[in-house]
């Protein structure tokens, strides 16, 4: 026993000795080695807070090495400055006070301190005049355009018809520049628009009758639009970013079939396209909202993700002449470009995630003149609209955000038992397409992340009981409508704008995120919706037929059955020729289907095929997706009907209704919201989830930030 105690004591003593030796050895790191480690942490890794800790460790452990200690104190100031913290001047002053004999280091600290104090005095002067005000809100407000350089007008889309329009910012009067007629007469519409430098013309992308996009230019006199010849391609998308300062070219991105995404200049004179940069890489997934010229036309500036594994972005600059790209603003936090001030002296950007802060930094001949300074904290989720010539910055606030809601229903009658409750999810306002797994344990949904008109889609899987979430990043562009396989192994999605497969259904492994194509169709066709069979062996989906010069939603379409094992694809016997949106009954025996014509017809049909039966029909002019869903153990079909505000036709509410499957009267459920989309019923028969823009009519808002740029 004594021998065992003695051995235990020896082992304990040995451990202590080794630990002491280890600590002693680790402390033998020289001041030079520790400084190099701190410098690497600051400059190579960008971990500024950790670097500050290492520099402070040098000051504490090696106060007698005056040169190293002075350098450490100087770099503490540099780190604080990069972080934009107020401690920077104090850190530089400490170099002057504590290390006066270190002449060269003191000189650098004095220069930094002088620059900071000068910048702070300029900012202080600006803040006295700083002003933010709302310039447009309420029905009809749109934020897909920008202010004219002279500050007189705002371009926008009039969604009553889809026409390009302008708003007089002084009088509030609106005027359409195009005249396509009503939505019934024509499904074409305008999207993003950009003003010429002289404020006399507008370039805009136009969804044409061929179901592709071209770029058009129209003058304020509403003359016939000029269609840029290079954009007349079928199955193409063109995104305008602005005009060159001389007004001779349009900066635009091209997404054409069988070609990579390309950024280039389009000649206004002859429509030729001069490629500047291939932007088809993953880092460009989702165009940045702002790609802009420097006022002298020598550079382009934009932002994109720091690397492929993060959503955080940095700001880059590219010389137009030699196409050399270099980082302009790099920082561990997320940074997005807001604009380049018209005097050419300042870059305006947002820093932070979620509710970002607005910053400015000086720039001269393509190089920064630091330090950056915060202009406004917590700007919120804004859409940059652009500068006017006098330095005012316009931006939009998108209040029409999508969120996921749930309601509790009576499992016998389908009646609503509780009001809609918004799910508490990350990235509020950017979440859509909820879908319960077949066992009800998980909720999948699509979250759109990042700026730009084509933001990145993330597939989120939420554990219903614990609330924990996983995120999958499939290599798919713009996927929607997730649906769980019955065994819970896979989630199928519809892909509507993939370069190689314009309309396809893919299968995503719910654990690994591995993507496999299931159904690929011809580019000129369209998939409208899909569901898994109860045994998981078949996918039911609706697909359009070819129809040149006929909009896809007016084409004939049928229900197809895709056998996963054999790959055999057949039309469901008895399928109507206008089948668009479908759902499968809980027992897997029936399908409900709804068309998208002006006259909506709700039908049920056996899942094995046969004669369909009409349940209900109604008028709807909107051509919108109305998702029919089986509820209450399969006894009712839940859907919604559009209601138009007579005073404001572009304002539409949606009323939730249900009808018995066996026939009977339509029942209003007393719930109206701004769009119900993508219903999914929990297997317990008591919970329904969907996405919506909320219970109130929320319009975007346009704001202007004035008198914030330094005068010198």
Least confident of 114-118, 192-196, 250-254, 649-653: 649-653
H-run or E-run covering 129: helix 103-129
Convert the pLDDT of each residue in 607-640 to its tens digit.
999 999 999 998 875 557 788 999 878 899 998 8
**pLDDT confidence tier of residue 355, bands split at 50, 70 and 90:** low
Q: Where are the beta strands (DSSP E) in 178-248?
A: 189-195, 201-207, 213-219, 226-227, 236-243
Give which of 691, 72, 707 is closest to 376, Cα–Cα: 707
**pLDDT confidence tier of residue 439, bands split at 50, 70 and 90:** very high
Q: Which residues contact 374 (CB under 8 A, 6 or more apart)?
A: 84, 351, 357, 358, 359
Answer whether 146's CB lies under 8 Å from 195's CB: yes
CA 74 → CA 181, 183, 364, 566, 664, distances in Å? Answer: 66, 65, 25, 70, 80
pLDDT at 99 over 60: yes
Q: What is the DSSP string of 272-327?
A: -EEEEEE--SGGGSS--S--EE-TTSSEEEEEEESSTT---EEEEEEETTT--EEE
Convert the pLDDT of each residue in 394-421 to its tens digit.
999 876 678 899 999 988 888 889 889 8
Percent of the chain whose predicted confidence (pLDDT) is above 90: 46
Q: How large is the average pLDDT for residues 567-582?
A: 93
More confident residue, 140 or 71: 71
Question: What's the order of all strands across the beta sheet hosting 325-329?
Answer: 292-293, 299-305, 313-319, 325-329
Give which of 391, 364, 349 is closest to 296, Cα–Cα: 364
Q: How large is the average pLDDT for residues 445-474?
A: 80
Q: How large is the average pLDDT for residues 279-284?
A: 59
Phi-psi sector, 607: left (phi>0), alpha (psi -120 to 50), beta: alpha
Q: What pTM was computed for the model?
A: 0.63
Convert the pLDDT of each residue in 149-199 to its tens digit.
999 999 999 988 999 999 999 888 999 999 999 887 888 999 999 999 999
What's the pLDDT at 499? 43
For the chain, the average pLDDT equals 83
Q: Which residues contact 685 (CB under 8 A, 6 or more apart)?
A: 409, 411, 631, 632, 633
More confident residue, 115 or 615: 615
Q: Are strands 226-227 and 527-532 parallel, antiparallel or unpaired?
A: unpaired
What's the pLDDT at 652? 62
Least confident of 154-163, 346-355, 358-367, 475-484: 346-355
Q: In this structure, is the dihedral angle defined by the CA atoms of residues 13, 18, 23 and 27, taken in order, positive or negative?
A: positive
More confident residue, 565 or 449: 565
The count of other CB atoms within 10 Å of the CB of residue 291 is 24
Q: How large is the average pLDDT for residues 498-523?
A: 80
What's the pLDDT at 123? 55
CA 253 → CA 52, 237, 335, 495, distances in Å? Answer: 42, 8, 22, 21
**pLDDT confidence tier of residue 22, bands split at 50, 70 and 90:** very low
Answer whether 175's CB lies under 8 Å from 166's CB: yes
**pLDDT confidence tier of residue 538, bands split at 50, 70 and 90:** very high
Give which of 345, 350, 374, 349 is closest to 81, Cα–Cα: 374
pLDDT at 675 over 90: no
Phi-psi sector, 87: left (phi>0), alpha (psi -120 to 50), beta: alpha
Q: What is the DSSP string of 88-114?
A: HHHHHHHHHHH-TT-HHHHHHHHHHHH
Query: Could you tell me which residues are beta bridge partners of residue 218?
Result: 202
Q: How large is the average pLDDT for residues 541-555?
A: 72
Answer whether 596's CB lies under 8 Å from 622's CB: no
Convert the pLDDT of each residue in 294-312 to its tens digit.
999 999 999 877 666 556 7
Q: Within 13 Å of residue 124, how many CA atoms lie on the same side as its CB? A: 6
Q: Helix or strand or coil: residue 55?
A: helix
Q: Which residue segments constitute the domains of the chain, with CATH numbers given?
A: 25-128 (1.25.40), 133-280 (2.120.10.30), 294-393 (2.120.10.30), 403-692 (2.120.10.30)
CA 432 → CA 188, 435, 677, 689, distances in Å? Answer: 25, 10, 8, 10
Q: Which residue reads 């900066």 in tokens?
A: 251
Answer whether 42's CB lies under 8 Å from 78's CB: yes
Give which of 231, 243, 138, 233 is closest to 197, Cα–Cα: 243
Burial class for 33, CB neighbours closer than 10 Å (0-12, 13-18, 19+): exposed
Residue 326 is encoded by which pair of tokens? Answer: 């270099």
What's the pLDDT at 269? 93
Least confident of 55-69, 274-288, 511-525: 274-288
Answer whether 475's CB lies under 8 Å from 482's CB: no
Residue 157 is encoded by which pair of tokens? Answer: 């889309």
What's the pLDDT at 281? 60
pLDDT at 429 over 90: no
Q: In this structure, is the dihedral angle defined by the CA atoms of residues 306, 311, 312 and 313, taken in order, positive or negative?
A: positive
Residue 18 is encoded by which pair of tokens? Answer: 């080794």
Q: How large is the average pLDDT for residues 10-32?
A: 43
Q: How large is the average pLDDT for residues 416-438?
A: 85
What's the pLDDT at 296? 93
Answer whether 374's CB lies under 8 Å from 357's CB: yes
Maximum mean pLDDT: which of 83-87, 327-331, 388-392: 388-392
Question: What's the order of all strands across the beta sheet hosting 456-463?
Answer: 431-436, 442-449, 456-463, 469-472
What's the pLDDT at 553? 61
Residue 390 is encoded by which pair of tokens? Answer: 């006098």
Least confident of 76-80, 234-238, 486-490, 527-531: 234-238
What's the pLDDT at 3? 38
Give which of 129, 105, 109, 128 is closest to 117, Cα–Cα: 109
Burial class for 465, CB neighbours closer than 10 Å (0-12, 13-18, 19+): exposed
Give which of 291, 379, 363, 279 is closest to 329, Cα–Cα: 363
Question: What's the order of all strands across the beta sheet hosting 701-706?
Answer: 131-136, 701-706, 393-397, 382-387
């Amino acid at each position: 026993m004594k021998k065992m105690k003695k051995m235990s004591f020896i082992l304990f003593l040995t451990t202590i000795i080794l630990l002491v030796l280890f600590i002693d050895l680790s402390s033998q790191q020289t001041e030079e080695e520790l400084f190099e480690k701190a410098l690497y942490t600051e400059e190579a890794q960008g971990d500024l807070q950790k670097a500050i800790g290492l520099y402070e460790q040098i000051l504490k452990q090696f106060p007698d090495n005056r040169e190293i200690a002075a350098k450490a104190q100087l770099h503490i100031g540099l780190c604080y400055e990069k972080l934009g913290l107020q401690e920077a001047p104090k850190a530089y002053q400490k170099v002057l006070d504590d290390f006066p004999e270190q002449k060269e280091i003191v000189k650098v600290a004095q220069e930094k301190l002088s620059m900071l104090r000068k910048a702070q005095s300029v900012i202080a002067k600006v803040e006295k005049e700083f002003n933010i005000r709302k310039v447009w809100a309420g029905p009809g407000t749109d934020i897909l355009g920008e202010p004219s350089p002279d500050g007189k007008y705002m371009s926008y889309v009039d969604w009553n018809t889809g026409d390009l329009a302008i708003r007089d910012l002084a009088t509030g009067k609106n005027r359409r520049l195009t005249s396509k007629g009503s939505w019934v007469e024509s499904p074409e519409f305008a999207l993003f628009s950009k003003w010429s430098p002289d404020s006399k013309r507008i370039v805009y992308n136009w969804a044409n009758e061929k179901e592709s996009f071209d770029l058009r230019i129209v003058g304020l006199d509403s003359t016939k639009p000029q269609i840029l010849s290079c954009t007349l391609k079928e199955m193409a998308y063109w995104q305008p970013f602005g005009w060159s300062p001389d007004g001779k070219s349009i900066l635009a991105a091209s997404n054409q079939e069988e070609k990579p995404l390309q950024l280039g200049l389009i000649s206004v004179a002859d429509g030729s396209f001069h490629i500047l940069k291939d932007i088809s890489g993953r880092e460009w997934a989702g165009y940045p909202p702002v790609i802009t010229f420097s006022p002298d036309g020598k550079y382009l500036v934009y932002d994109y993700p720091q690397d492929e594994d993060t959503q955080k972005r940095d700001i880059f600059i590219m010389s137009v002449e030699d196409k050399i790209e270099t980082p302009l603003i790099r920082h561990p936090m997320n940074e997005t470009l807001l604009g380049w001030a018209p005097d050419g002296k300042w870059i305006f950007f947002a820093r932070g995630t979620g509710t970002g802060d607005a910053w400015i930094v000086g720039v001269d001949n393509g190089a920064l003149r630091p330090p950056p300074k915060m202009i406004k904290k917590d700007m919120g989720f804004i859409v940059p609209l652009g500068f006017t010539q006098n330095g005012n910055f316009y931006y939009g606030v998108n209040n029409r955000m999508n969120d996921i809601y749930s309601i509790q229903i009576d499992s016998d009658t389908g009646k609503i038992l509780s009001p809609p409750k918004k799910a508490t999810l990350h990235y509020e306002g950017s979440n859509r397409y909820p879908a319960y797994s077949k066992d009800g344990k998980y909720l999948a949904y699509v979250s759109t992340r990042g700026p730009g008109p084509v933001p990145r889609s993330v597939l989120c899987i939420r554990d219903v009981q614990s609330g924990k979430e996983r995120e999958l990043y499939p290599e798919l562009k713009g996927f929607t409508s997730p649906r769980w396989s019955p065994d819970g192994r896979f989630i199928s999605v519809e892909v509507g704008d993939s370069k190689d497969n314009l309309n396809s259904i893919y299968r995503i492994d719910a654990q690994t995120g591995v993507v496999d194509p299931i159904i690929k169709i011809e580019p000129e066709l369209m998939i409208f919706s899909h569901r898994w069979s109860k045994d998981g062996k078949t996918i039911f989906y609706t697909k359009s037929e070819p129809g040149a010069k006929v909009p896809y939603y007016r084409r004939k379409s049928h229900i197809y059955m895709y056998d996963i094992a054999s790959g055999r694809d057949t039309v469901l016997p008895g399928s109507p020729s206008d089948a668009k949106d479908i759902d499968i009954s809980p027992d897997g025996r029936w399908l409900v289907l709804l068309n998208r014509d002006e006259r909506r017809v709700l039908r049920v049909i056996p899942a094995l095929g046969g004669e369909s039966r009409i349940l209900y029909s109604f008028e709807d002019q909107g051509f919108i997706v109305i998702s029919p869903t089986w509820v209450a153990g399969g006894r009712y079909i839940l859907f919604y009907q559009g209601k138009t505000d007579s005073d404001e036709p572009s304002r539409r509410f949606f009323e939730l209704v249900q009808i018995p499957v066996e026939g009977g009267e339509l029942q209003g459920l007393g719930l109206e919201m701004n769009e119900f989309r993508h219903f999914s019923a929990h297997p317990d028969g008591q919970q329904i989830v969907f996405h919506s823009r909320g219970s109130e009519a929320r319009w975007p808002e346009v704001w202007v930030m004035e008198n914030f740029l330094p005068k010198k």
